[in-house]
């Protein structure tokens, strides 16, 4: 398996969120959809149920996967946790940019050392800027004086300076991130909803076509595919919509 660089095809740009409560369900989804999507996202709900057995299962299926762990702690703790992920077959994992420059920089250094020692590729490390469930009102309630659209490019630039490969951010902030960080910085966008699906609990959302048009590198999509009556058809429809922008 090769860790992702810049995705070339629409299928490679599609990340399926495995937001299910059991390892068996996750493996079934991987088996069913590994020819339709580029990567699979293992999030906190699934990890709480399956633990590191998930990583073994993903490796057994021969798929690329993104561990959406969202590490946010003191630099030493996050660095040591990141070292432990190297060698698990993880293509990409993330931390919270709000953890600060030192935390992110220590994470990159630790992952690089561990990869060199194990003679494996370094996973792509990206940072969460602001969760797509956070609105300006909620950002103010937390204590931020700036708006979400002002905070995101600042956090993205901080992540780049710390040596990270990219960020997780709403497609609505892609243009601002590109201006701040340049064309080679990864942008992974959740909060994607096709026009034919519901918004669920996401607030800063866009369609797959608009996200690709705006310059997103990867799209994270879950329920519009996993809860569809035909999951393969839903994935194919989304890929077709992404291709329509090229």
Q: What is the mean predicted confidence (pLDDT) over 237-246? A: 86
Tokens 């068996």: give the residue.
24
What pLDDT does 119 receive? Answer: 95
Task: Kindly give the residue spans of alpha helices, DSSP state H, lying in 86-221.
Answer: 101-118, 136-142, 148-161, 174-181, 208-214
Q: For the chain, which residues make up each domain, given as ranges?
A: 14-243
DSSP state of 241: H
Give the pTM: 0.89
Tokens 């940072």: give the residue.
127
Written as one string, the DSSP assignment of 194-213 is -TTS--TT-SS-B-HHHHHH
CATH of domain 14-243: 3.20.20.70
Q: What is the mean predicted confidence (pLDDT) over 179-190? A: 94
Tens-place pLDDT, residues 200-213: 554 556 889 888 88
Tens-place pLDDT, residues 78-134: 999 999 999 899 999 999 999 999 999 999 999 999 999 999 999 999 999 998 788
Contact call for residues 60 and 40 (beta carbons, < 8 A):
no
Contact call for residues 242 and 215 (beta carbons, < 8 A):
no
Distance CA 11, CA 59 (A): 20
Contact call for residues 10 and 242 (beta carbons, < 8 A):
yes
Of these residues, 6, 34, 41, 70, which one is catalytic? 70
Tens-place pLDDT, residues 125-151: 999 999 878 889 999 998 988 999 999
Nearest Cα to Cα of residue 94 among 155, 157, 165: 165
Is residue 17 helix, strand or coil?
Answer: strand
Known catalytic membership, residue 70:
yes
Distance CA 89, CA 73 (A): 23
Contact call for residues 48 and 18 (beta carbons, < 8 A):
no
SS3 content of the chain, % helix, strand, coil (to 5): 45, 15, 35
DSSP state of 192: B
Tens-place pLDDT, residues 11-29: 999 999 998 989 999 999 9
Written as one string, the DSSP assignment of 51-76 is TTHHHHHHHHHT-EEEEEEEE-S-HH
218: pLDDT strictly greater than 50:
yes
């Amino acid at each position: 398996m090769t860790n992702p660089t810049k995705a070339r095809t629409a299928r490679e740009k599609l990340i399926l969120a495995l937001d299910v409560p059991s390892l068996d369900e996750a493996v079934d989804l991987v088996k069913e959809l590994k020819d339709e999507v580029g990567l699979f996202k293992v999030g906190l709900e699934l990890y709480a149920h399956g633990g590191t057995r998930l990583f073994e299962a993903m490796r057994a299926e021969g798929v690329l996967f993104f561990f959406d762990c969202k590490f946010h702690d003191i630099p030493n703790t996050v660095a040591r946790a990141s070292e432990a992920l190297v060698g698990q077959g993880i293509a990409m994992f993330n931390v919270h940019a709000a953890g600060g420059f030192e935390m992110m920089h220590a994470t990159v250094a630790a992952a690089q050392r561990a990869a060199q020692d194990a003679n494996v590729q370094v996973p792509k490390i990206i940072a969460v800027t602001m969760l797509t469930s956070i609105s300006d009102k909620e950002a103010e309630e937390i204590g931020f004086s700036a708006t979400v659209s002002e905070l995101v490019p600042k956090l993205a630039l901080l992540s780049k300076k710390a040596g990270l490969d990219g960020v997780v951010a709403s497609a609505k902030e892609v243009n601002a991130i590109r201006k701040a960080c340049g064309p080679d910085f990864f942008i992974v966008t959740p909060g994607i909803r096709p026009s034919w699906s519901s918004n669920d609990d996401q607030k800063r959302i866009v369609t797959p076509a608009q996200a690709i048009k705006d310059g997103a590198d990867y799209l994270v999509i879950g329920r519009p595919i996993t809860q569809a009556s035909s999951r393969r058809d839903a994935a194919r429809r989304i890929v077709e919509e992404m291709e329509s922008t090229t």
